[in-house]
Structure 1
């Protein structure tokens, strides 16, 4: 994170109204502007201005669904701050205290959607190929993602270690190359629970793209915790592959949690 990006994050967080908006999204992610404005003693234009500041700071990302614009928290900047100033100092004790608080609150909360945004120096076609080409996914993910990527088709997440084991299965719900891919994601296919849903949104701009990954319908907080560390690691490896021609020197998901 550059100094300018860091300044934008701290400036956005300094305002109590913007912190209130972040809390609203933390309680219920993926809200429209109308929903965000509910029960706020504030003009709609003022809310829009505060949301624009949060979007510019990359603390909030906007995902279009038809005519609606849904607002999601983006944890990436806060995770960077945590890694820079907290994890190196008193992380074990803070984690223990946070775990106690989180466990006490989990039973009263629904599981929120997970949204992650990253910017990649590549074309939309290159990002689409990286998401759907079995050999490329094996390089940065350690699994071959196998499918013909047509709506209604099955897909499999096969280990690239030669075992042929399949860790995740699902179906392709939507495929609009090179900008939108929606799949179900079943890590326990024998379970009676409804599968979660992953959406990859690729938005090109000049020589870069914004890749937004939304993971919805999560069954429990354990899965949310797992993907919250898994997706950033996988996408960092993808970004490295497309920008440098090679993946990171070590698999990022193998890092110790204390330093991840």
Structure 2
């Protein structure tokens, strides 16, 4: 946590985060043109932000794309603010983009629209099971109360029993890589996109990276939902206690 506060203490680094909030997935060259800093200066600040977990990256060919990683910020908020507030599971406003009809896993675009990384002290097997087992959803999902398998699809439901989300596995490398559709049901106009989960063991913990492709209107609004989802997953796997970081509402 000290690294997070140290990284945020510098106005140049905060400006870089603002730039990524405005438009995620920028290259070093993209960011360099936005600031009166040398290329080396931008690189130096990005390294600090990456070290604090506030920025995560995705390489495609010779390009390296940078993404704002909201998980550490959400964990700071949850530590001091969330316990003081009511936490009903009632947050859903994610604007999503359709993939081409009939597209396969090989059609996934080179560059994801949203990327998030978190580190969880657990085994690969436990993390893979949490991502694959519908019974795990009730333990950590910030919005869904439960889930079930319906044919080849995992269907998640809101507390009132309405369908919330349908996910179908399109590709799976056990313990390492899982690709699913992301079919929101809370909005009749919402369309299907693709999520890739990447698991990498690192000693006594795992690095989990979420890549979201095919967002209809970009990544606006997606970050908070994924941060709440990842915070709940991390807390549950590390403590064994169900954790549902739903959006707080006023008691008025």
Alpha-carbon distance, 1:136 to partner: 2.7
C-alpha distance in 2, partners of 1:86/1:237? 15
Alpha-carbon distance, 1:74 to partner: 1.5
The structure with the larger Rg is 1
1:156 to 154, 158, 167: 154
Contact map agreement 1:9 1:59 (CA 8 A) in 2:
yes
TM-score, normalised to structure 2, is: 0.68
Whether 1:178 aligns to 2:175 is yes
Residue 23 of structure 1 is matched in structure 2 by 18
Q: Provide Cα deviations, 1:210-239, integer angstroms capped at 9, x if missing partner.
A: 222344444459x954x5454334333322
Contact map agreement 1:138 1:145 (CA 8 A) in 2:
no
1:241 to 225, 236, 240: 236
Q: Provide Cα deviations, 1:39-87, integer angstroms capped at 9, x if missing partner.
A: 5454433322211001112211123446643211122343455567888
Residue 203 of structure 2 is matched in structure 1 by 206
Closer, same or farther: CA 134–181 of 1 in aligned 2, 3 Å: same
Q: Which protein, 1 or 2, shows the higher relative CO under an 8 Å CA cutoff with sep ≥ 6? A: 2
Contact map agreement 1:137 1:145 (CA 8 A) in 2:
no
Residue 146 of structure 1 is matched in structure 2 by 149
Closer, same or farther: CA 183–145 of 1 in aligned 2, 3 Å: farther
Residue 252 of structure 1 is matched in structure 2 by 245
Closer, same or farther: CA 125–35 of 1 in aligned 2, 3 Å: farther
C-alpha distance in 1, partners of 2:158/2:186? 20
C-alpha distance in 2, partners of 1:130/1:84? 23
Q: Provide Cα deviations, 1:132-175, integer angstroms capped at 9, x if missing partner.
A: 12233344333335378xxxxx5232449896x53212443432
C-alpha distance in 2, partners of 1:179/1:59? 23
Closer, same or farther: CA 205–45 of 1 in aligned 2, 3 Å: same
Structure 1 vs Structure 2 CA RMSD: 3.9
Q: Superposed, which structure 2 residues align to 1:66-77 within 5 Å?
A: 68-77=63-72
Residue 14 of structure 1 is matched in structure 2 by 9
Residue 185 of structure 2 is matched in structure 1 by 188
Contact map agreement 1:74 1:116 (CA 8 A) in 2:
yes
TM-score, normalised to structure 1, is: 0.66
In the alignment, structure 2 segments of 5+ residues that lack a partner are 86-111
Instruction: Specify the SS of the correspondent of 1:172.
Output: strand
C-alpha distance in 2, partners of 1:88/1:52? 32
Q: Superposed, which structure 2 residues align to 1:76-155 within 5 Å?
A: 76-80=71-75, 113-141=113-141, 142-144=145-147, 146=149, 154-155=152-153
Contact map agreement 2:116 2:211 (CA 8 A) in 1:
yes
Instruction: Specify the SS of the correspondent of 1:252.
Output: coil
